[in-house]
A and B are shown apart, each in its own frame.
Chain A
Amino acid sequence: MAPPVEIIRLRTTLRDLVALSAIPAAWVGREPSAIAAGLADVLVGSLDLDFAFVRLCDPNGDAAVEVTRGNAWKAFPEWRERHLAAAGQFSRKEIIPEVGGGEGTCCGIVIPIGINAEGGLVAVACERPDFPTEIDQLLLSVAANHAATAFQNSRLIQERHSAAQALRASEQKLRQARDELELKVAERTAELRRSEAYLTEAQKLTHTGSVGWRVTTNQIIHWSDECFRLFGFEPQGGLPSWEEWAQRVHPEDRDKRRQRIERAVSQRTGYELDYRIILPDKRLRHIHSVAHPVFNPAGEVVEYVGIAIDVTERKRAEEAIRRSESYLSEAQRLSHTGSFGWNVATNEHIWSEETFRIWGYDASTKITLQLVLDRIHPEDIPRAQQVIARAAESGQDFDLEYRLLLPGGSVKHIHIVAHAVGGDSGNIEFVGAAMDVTERKRSEEASLQLAAIVESSSDAIIGKTLDGIVTSWNKGAEQIFGYAAAEVVGKSVAMLIPTDRLDEEPRIIERLRDGERIEHFETVRRRKDGQDIHVSLNISPIKDAMGKTIGVSKIARDITERKRAEEEIRKLNAELEQRVIERTAQLVAINKELEAFTYSVSHDLRAPVRHIAGFTVLLQKHSEGVLDDTSRDHISMILDSARRMGALVDDLLAYSRIGRAETRETTVHLEQLIKSVVGEITPDTQGRNIVWRIGALPICRGDPSMLRLVFANLVSNAVKFTRTRAQARIEIDSMNGKPDEVVVFVKDNGVGFNMKYKNKLFGVFQRLHSQEAFEGTGIGLATVQRIVHRHGGRVWAEGSIENGATFYVALPKPGKVNI
């Protein structure tokens, strides 16, 4: 049995429904147009429709999508026009029985999507007679709802898609913006790097380092490359500490720098400061530093930023300029050359220190032409004024010498050299030099004077080169050598030298080259007339300013006359010498004879005396009792004479020996010597009353044993000649004499002598008393005198009869010798 139609339809409908239900899945993600088209196609195809129109509306109000399939409902657009106007009322499906426009009868149906067709609408037409069945209507509704859902989905997807797209786009934009930013950052960074490099380079070139530090902690927070170099730190070592930095500062500048910084910090100001640093390699560097404070919002100083500039070169340059200025000034002072500038029109004068000094004005004086003229010597003013006026008018260089008369009356010779600059009339300016040539003038005058002296000298004064070429020849030379200057100058001096003495000249030159002067060199030179003359030469090297010998000055004196006199003297001397030799020989012979005589006396004269005495004694012994008193008296006379004779011989021999004896000269302490003499004599004065007074006695120079003899004689004389006094007083003391002698005297209160005979006192055998009164040989004082004279001394006596005598002996002081 065939299934009932209804069931078949139901089946078909279900199938179609399933098919339709599958549609939305296919539509997911589709475009609204594709959805609409798909729906239309499904409706036409699946439901066998002849016309389908699908309109899908975007709930967001976007444009609706419309799709038409088939043309069975030709009048649909008009219809739609009509109905759509009342779209708002189009709220339910509408079946239109006669759609018109087609071949046959065609029924149409319009189904809204959503309430009031907000989602659009589906309109279909079909020629099938049963159209629209309920199933058709159901299917159409489902399809339309699906389509609406799909459309909504599609819209959502679309929106999502758009949103994603928009996101992507904006992402893209962002990325681009970031890239651009990065590029800009890179560019900016490069720019910064460049500028930093420039800065570093600039710091390097200007020797300027930059530095920053935190005030509270004294921590360095910025330290440029140049700072490392400036202060001699290794960049690898990192930023130096505050202390390390301070350590570089020259010890003498440390306090100054520290105080300056502390003051700036306390006053919250910047500062500027110069100090020196010592680098690790001991080099010195001058630093100029400038720093500014950095404040925090509270207005407190937190940091300082600053720069440090190496001003060593500048300092050096400044020093060099200062030095060069002082050199210039010193040079002007030393050369006595002042400089000046003179603007004629403005009468403005610019003077250097030395110019002020030359004119004797204070350096603060404002100089005018009048002041310049005031100092010029009155005699020179007219000439100077004339030259200056002409120069001022013509603008021409000028050169002028005049004298200054200074307030003290001293005169200076000034040489002015002025050079005109500028030139357009009315604005003439001179710059020039004023030289104090006083010294030069004086030396010129002195030279002239010297030249006159040389010319008028009667000595020959000759100048020559070291090669012996004559360069100058004075009048004296003309007279002595007979050549005129013109005959000699430029020729060799050899023409004056006798041929046998030609080798003298090179020897002289050799000594002169060594800087030696040759004085009083006596030799022989030949005159023009061939006559040889004796000359005494004084030859000196002539030296240039550097001390180099460049020539020779020679002064020759004609000593022919003197030579002759000398020769005469020499002859006389020789004769004299001969005579002296002869006389000496005679004297020697005489002396020898005398010596032999003395010797003989010594031996032979004493023997007979001794024999006389000896045999007389023997005779006396043998004749005892035989001879009478007279004879015995005679015998004792003989004995007495013999003894006296013996004493005489002995004294005489002693006296003569003084002249011949060798002397030993030394320092003699007279006090010691005289006390010893007195001590020796004292035993012989038994029974006498003698008061001795011996003062402080000096030391002298002499032969002690001889001087002993002197004082032994004087003291024994004093003892002897006071014999008649109840109390003898003998005084020995010293007194002042000539500067180089000492004087000792021996004074007694004895019998004295008549001053009439004072010159006889010291003669040999001279006696002032009888032998009976005072025994003696008369040789003692002669011996005294002889010894004292041999010492270069003096002896003298004072006295009067019965009033004592004083004997004075003057002897040389120690150090003065001559015995």
Chain B
Amino acid sequence: MSYLKRILLVEDDPKDVKLTLTGLAEYNLANEVVVARDGEEALDYLYHRGNHQTRSNGNPAVILLDLKLPKINGFEVLQQIRGDENLKMIPVVVLTSSNEERDLAQSYKLGINAYVVKPVDFHQFVNAVKELGVFWAVINEPPPGTVKRT
């Protein structure tokens, strides 16, 4: 495997971050996760700005994106990514509490790769996150420009 299993988790709720990371940890994927607390930070990471100015090059293998975010919401982030020549190929999975139809529709319209509703049941939630991490960061062959293992 020549790629880093880097996952960008965009999630404002620390509890959710914690639960998500708990899920990913079971497959030893937690260390590869970069967490952005809002949309702005997510974009900073992707564009090497602010706190992420000095990060290593390359795109994440997948972005797990919440929709309801402070400052810049998930849709805006998504729009930005899909409009950028360098970023638009990054797989994006929406991971959200809502199964509102209009969210679903808009997400798919903006070109997401998957839409996952966070289950209330913890076990189900952990399973879901685990499977997501494994699929996108391990099984899936990421597009060119993804961060490579050094």
Contact = CB atoms under 8 A, between A and B. Distances in A.
B97 A611 contact: no
Interface string A442-486: 000000000000000000000000000000000000000000000
B16 to A, nearest CB: 7
Contacts of A246: none
A610 B97 contact: yes
B123 interface: yes
B122 interface: yes
Contacts of B141: none
A598 B119 CA distance: 18
A603 B97 contact: yes
Interface in B59-107: 67-68, 96-101
A607 B98 CA distance: 9
Contacts of B98: 599, 602-603, 606
B96 A611 contact: no
Contact of A609 (B13, B67, B101, B120): B120
Interface stretch (A95-103, A142-150, A514-522, A613-621): A613-621
Interface string A635-679: 000000011011101100100010001000000000000000000
Given A603-B96, A607-B97, A643-B120, A618 B22 contact: yes
Contacts of B123: 617
A656 to B, nearest CB: 10
A604 B121 CA distance: 16
Nearest to B66: A603
Contacts, number: 64
B19 to A, nearest CB: 5
B101 A661 contact: yes
Contacts of A615: 15, 19
A645 to B, nearest CB: 8
B115 to A, nearest CB: 14
B5 interface: no
Interface string B96-135: 1111110000000000000000111111010000000000
A642 B120 contact: yes
A611 B100 contact: no
A650 B99 CA distance: 9
Q: From B97, B101, B120, B125, name the one whose CB has the most chain A CB atoms within 10 angstroms.
A: B120
Nearest to A647: B120
Q: From B15, B101, B125, name the one whose CB has the most chain A CB atoms within 10 angstroms.
A: B15
Nearest to A610: B120
Contacts of B125: 610, 614
Nearest to B13: A607
A649 B118 CA distance: 13
Interface string A807-818: 000000000000
Given A611-B16, A615-B15, A618-B22, A602 B99 contact: yes
A713 B59 CA distance: 46
A646 B19 CA distance: 17
8 contacts: A604-B97, A607-B16, A610-B118, A611-B19, A613-B121, A646-B120, A646-B121, A653-B99
Given A606-B120, A611-B19, 10 more contacts: A602-B100, A603-B67, A603-B97, A609-B120, A610-B19, A610-B97, A610-B119, A610-B122, A643-B120, A643-B121
